[in-house]
Every structure is written in C-alpha cells, then in structure tokens.
Amino acid sequence: MIPAGPVPAEQVDLDVPVRDGRIRVRIYRPHGSGPFPLYLFIHGGGWCTGTVEERDGRCRAIAAGARCVVASVDYRLAPENAFPTPVEDCYSALEWLVDHADRLDLDAARVAVGGESAGGNLAAALCLMSRDRGGPSIVYQWLDVPALDLTLSQPSFRDVPDGYLLDSAAIEEFLDCYLADRTMATDPYASPLLAPDLSGLPPAWIMSAEFDKLRDDGRAYAAALEAAGVPATYRMLSGHVHLTFAFTRLLPSAADYERAAIAALARGFER
C-alpha cells in the first residue's frame, strides 16, 4: 500500500545534539548537485509511537520530486519525553542542520518543515517557535491531517463518529501521554491554532481527511492563517479517513494528492 520510493543519491543517519541528549536525523539526498533546499519532516504517531523508518518511502519520494534534502527527525517520544520535549527536539535539529548547511550542501535560505498528524502539530509549533525565538527562517510549512487544537474544541471531534480509524478514546490516550497536565493544551506550542498571533509565519499547505476527527483542526488553522495575512492552501480529501492518504499504491486519490503536495513544496521553495 505504501511504496518504497525512489532510491536517493545518499541516505544516512546523523547523530544530532539536542537539549539533554542526542537524537537521530535521517538524511535523504537527491541526485544531482547542490546546494539543495531543506525539508525537515516530522513523523506522526500520537507523539508516543513511530520512527523514521515508517515513512522512508515518502521521504524518498519528496527528495526526488521536490529536488530537496529531506531530514526526517527521530524525536524523543512521550510519555517518557512529554511536551515540550518533542517540539524542542525538532527545533534543535532544525538549528543544527542550518548551522551545518555548508557541510551538508544545503541552501539555508530555502528551508521548509512539515509532518503528518502529531508530526503536523510539531511542524506548526516549530514554525511558531522559530519565529518567536528569531531562529532559522522557514519559507514553507506542509501539514497533513494535523492535530492543532489539543483542547479538542473543534466541531469534527464531536461530529465525526468513532469507527473511522482514529477514535476519541485513542486521541484522549495520546494526549494523556503527551501532556503531563492537560491544562498544557492551551499552550500555543501544544495547540498552534490557539496562538494569539499567527502573523509572520511561513505560507502553509494543509490537508484534512473528510472522515477524521481532526478534520476541522486543519480547516480552522488555514482560515486563521489567512486572517493573519499568511497565505494558506487548504485541501480536504473526500472519502478519506485519518491516514489513508498514505496508501498511494492502493488509492489513486492518495497518489494524486501526494504528487500535488510535492509539487507545491517545490514551488514553496521558490517563493
């Protein structure tokens, strides 16, 4: 259901320093000569499961299709490493990569971030964090089926019934793992949709699935970004549930979506 993806010119794991430790960052380098733009990819899994291996195929496809270096972050997982450790790990990885751009043959002026589900949450939070701290400049964000309001206040959490892969009990369990205290859900780095100021963020590509309890998180965030003067492209995959966009060998609509999103990323690097 999920293809292995084209073979990159180089695929290597780096050991990157973060606060209080080190993490793995997997690099996918396209064929040809650089310097290449950088796409920092953040996997999903409810902040408490998942590894870089699970999305090898997609990262390879992105590297080839968008002609960029993809850096997939193996951030530390909850509950042992609860909020804000995962997003801090991603920020540290981004800083390290940009600081070593010459060594890695990267174009530090063309940096994008993105992720899926919980990874989309972390990518959106990373954009806020980098803006607030005067960190690396990010030119584009790509968020697939993101969780952006951890107070679970969006209508789709109630309106989409259980039984479509991601149900309310699973979401509650993930949040209990990620947030040591559920009152932390109002922190903008936990719930980017609740940030009081979204101005100055990078242009966004956001996708939701029709039958996903997180559907309206993405829809509302796209609208909020536009209201703050940030260009946002919103796509909803009709007939899809939370993660079926990944089934590109099985579902033509998923394959079409991935091609469109990768093409949009390539354009995003040229803004």
Instruction: Just list the catalytic residues.
Output: 117, 212, 242
Domains and CATH numbers, the chain: 10-268 (3.40.50.1820)
Longest dimension (CA), the chain: 49
Q: What is the pLDDT of residues 73-97, one digit of tens each?
A: 999 999 999 999 999 999 999 999 9
Cross-strand bridge partners of residue 41: 72, 114
**Residue 3 clears pLDDT 80, i.e. is over it:** no
Q: Stretch 206-223: mean pLDDT, rounded?
A: 99
Full-model pTM: 0.97
Cβ atoms < 10 Å from Cβ of 119: 29
Hey, what are 70's tokens?
């993809």
Q: What is the pLDDT of residues 195-205, one digit of tens each?
A: 999 999 999 99
Q: So what's the pLDDT on residue 4?
A: 72
**Residue 160 clears pLDDT 80, i.e. is over it:** yes
Contact at 8 Å (CB) between 209 and 236? Answer: yes
Contact at 8 Å (CB) between 126 and 145? Answer: no
From its phi and psi, is residue 145 left (phi > 0), alpha (psi between -120 and 50) or beta? left
Distance CA 205, CA 247 (A): 20
Q: Stretch 4-33: mean pLDDT, rounded?
A: 94
Contact at 8 Å (CB) between 262 and 136? Answer: no
Q: So what's the pLDDT on residue 171?
A: 98
pLDDT band at 190; cut points 50, 70, 90: very high
